[in-house]
Amino acid sequence: MTRTTDHPIVVLGAGPAGMAAALALHTARHDVVLLERYREARPAGNILNLWPPPIKALGLMGVDVDDLGAPCHSTFRSAKGKVRADVQIPADVVARYGGGFIGMLRPDLYRRMLAAIPEGMLLTDQEVTGIRDLGDHVELTMKDGSTRSTPLLVGADGIDSMVRAHLWGASPKREHRLHIIGGYTFDDAPSAEKGEAIIAHTRTVQGSYTSIRSQGRDGYQWWTLEACDPDAPAPADLRGHALTLAQGFGAPLTSLIEATTDDHVQRWVIRDRKPLKKWSKGRITLAGDAAHATSPYAAYGAGMSIGDGYFLAQLLAGADLSDTAAVGAALDRYDEVRIPHTTMQVQQAYILGRAFHHAPAFLRPLRDAVLDGTPLLQKQIGERSPGEIVAQLDEMGDSILAPRVSHAPASTASARAVAMRTSRARSSASSGL
């Protein structure tokens, strides 16, 4: 353990971002505590899909990803079944990471991540209420009035992040004026395609389903997404409302919704925040939704959150945390590596939501004719997105201790030392998944 101060790094918030940052920093041989305000780390939600980069990152931070979800091939389609984009993930990536798009349940991801967290790292019932960056350390005030000192604070405290507000001021959430109703079932629907993620649209509604695997069981998750007034009350009967929306798609979506029990159905109003130009300041940085809250249109918010922790740890591997310049250089590099990628995803997800659900009525037939008759969506979703995925996998290098050389920070003498140490570690570190 490269303990360079008397106090561990504090990661605030035990969601996917916080658990990943804590596990990755531990893998990078730093001493870490993970603070969660609730009595336990608990998933807010049910359905989830992960792309290959988070699967690679999880495996390299010690999480068991074997049979975590169902491998799926994904297509965007019209409600009538016309394929508008076929997401072409290279076969070797699919083979290596257990699928191109992996359908799972969120509690299973939590279970696997929690199982990898060393005893004593996660402290629950720990709400932080105040933050002061005092130059050579950060002082946190806890809800019970006690204080805690740390050389580095990672704010992984979600979309309503107090760490983000502390660093960059309060900012309003961006209303997408959309809501999503999603659920899952282990019943079979005769015409449902196994191993497929089908994201389909009518003129105003998205109706989708994918295969899932959960603790050895096969099933399906589904969701419907439409424009809404975010201040209006939720439909009283969520499953019934989803079923009505699904009529535009027919079976198997309707059969899957009919087979789902009410307790397996949830609704979310979709909001994000406009991307920041900078995440880190002094000895404090951000990860996950605190840094880049994202519409589920990307199906990548948790995936990017996991990636944040991976890259943060890679850039801090070997760093002397008592050296303020070295910490600052690593965090600057972290911002440079993560902000362009996550900003692009956040904005693309926002724009897709607008294009599919907020286009003026007179433009919708034209939009759909373009989507059905031109390669526009194929180029953007079918080819560009897989290109990003492959680029991310490459950018991750072989492991947390074996980064791609271009990621090593080199702007200060101490940062150069970090680069040398991480490159030395490279030869002894294990290779990828």
Ligand X SMILES: Cc1cc2nc3c(=O)[nH]c(=O)nc-3n(C[C@H](O)[C@H](O)[C@H](O)COP(=O)(O)OP(=O)(O)OC[C@H]3O[C@@H](n4cnc5c(N)ncnc54)[C@H](O)[C@@H]3O)c2cc1C
Q: Which amino acid does the sequence have at 302?
A: A
| One residue of 10, 17, 23, 337 binding ligand X per CB under 6 A | 17
Would you say 197 or 419 has its CB closer to ligand X? 197
User: Binding pattern to ligand X, positions 256-275, x when CB under 6 A?
Assistant: ------------x-------
- Which of 151, 149, 127, 129 is CA-nearest to residue 139? 149
Q: Does 185 bind ligand X (CB under 6 A)?
A: no
Q: Does 18 bind ligand X (CB under 6 A)?
A: yes
Question: Is 278 in contact with 168 (CB distance < 8 Å)?
Answer: yes
Would you say 177 or 426 has its CB closer to ligand X? 177
Give the H or E element holding residue 29: none
Q: Does 388 bind ligand X (CB under 6 A)?
A: no
CA dist., res. 394 & res. 55, Å (int)? 13
Give me the phi and psi of 147, to 5 degrees please: -120, 160
- Which of 57, 56, 46 is CA-nearest to residue 98? 56
Question: Is 285 in contact with 8 (CB distance < 8 Å)?
Answer: no
Q: Looking at 60-68, 302-310, 342-350, 351-359, which segment touches ligand X (CB under 6 A)?
A: 302-310
* Lookup: tokens for 106: 């969120």
Q: Looking at 56-64, 296-304, 321-329, 413-421, which segment touches ligand X (CB under 6 A)?
A: 296-304
User: Binding pattern to ligand X, positions 27-56, x when CB under 6 A?
Assistant: --------xxxx------x--xxx------
Q: Which amino acid does the sequence have at 57?
A: A
Q: Does 302 bind ligand X (CB under 6 A)?
A: yes
Would you say 58 or 329 has its CB closer to ligand X? 58
Lookup result for tokens 């389609």: 77
* Lookup: tokens for 58: 């999880």
CA dist., res. 268 & res. 288, Å (int)? 18
* Lookup: tokens for 205: 């509604």
| One residue of 53, 59, 275, 296 binding ligand X per CB under 6 A | 296
By CB under 6 A, the count of residues binding ligand X is 36
Q: Looking at 26-34, 297-305, 312-320, 366-374, which segment touches ligand X (CB under 6 A)?
A: 297-305
**Which residues are near ligand X by CB under 6 A?**
12-18, 35-38, 45, 48-50, 126-128, 156-158, 162, 180, 182, 268, 288-290, 294, 296, 299-303, 305
